[in-house]
A = this chain, B = another copy of it.
Amino acid sequence: MLHITGTFIDEITHDIPAQNWGAKEWARDFDAMQAIGIDTVILIRAGYKHQATFASEVLSDRVGILPVYTDLVDLFLTEAERCNMRFFFGTYDSGHYWHSGQYREEIEINKAFCDEFYERYGDRKAFGGWYFCHEINTYDNNVMHVYEDLSRHLCGLCDVPILISPYIKGIKQFGTEAISLERHIQEWESVFARIEGLVDIVAFQDGNVPLAELPHYLEANCNLARRYGLQSWSNVESFDRDMPIKFPPIDFRKLRYKLEQGDRAGINKLVTFEFSHFLSPNSAYPAAHQLYQRYREWLQL
Contact = CB atoms under 8 A, between A and B. Distances in A.
A18 B249 contact: yes
A25 interface: yes
Nearest to A16: B243
Q: What is the oligomeric copy number? A: 3
Given A25-B290, A284-B287, A286-B284, A20 B66 contact: no
Nearest to A24: B293
A18 B250 contact: yes
A219 interface: no
Question: Which 6 A-B residue pairs are closest in the complex by CB-CB distance?
Answer: A18-B251, A17-B248, A20-B290, A244-B246, A284-B286, A284-B287
Nearest to A212: B50
Given A25-B290, A284-B287, A286-B284, A248 B67 contact: no
A240 B284 CA distance: 15
A252 B18 contact: yes
A67 B257 contact: yes
How many A residues are at the interface, by size bracket? 35 or more
Contacts of A19: 286-287, 290
A64 interface: yes
A15 B286 contact: no
Given A240-B17, A284-B286, A66 B22 contact: no
The A contact surface, by secondary structure, is loop
Nearest to A21: B290
Contacts of A257: 66-67
A35 interface: no
B251 A20 contact: yes
A285 B159 CA distance: 43
B22 A212 contact: no
A42 interface: no
Contacts of A240: 17-18
A17 B252 CA distance: 11
Interface in A39-67: 50-51, 64, 66-67
A263 to B, nearest CB: 13
Contacts of A50: 211-212
A248 B66 contact: no
A256 interface: yes
A252 B51 CA distance: 13
Given A244-B15, A256-B69, A290-B21, A212 B297 contact: no
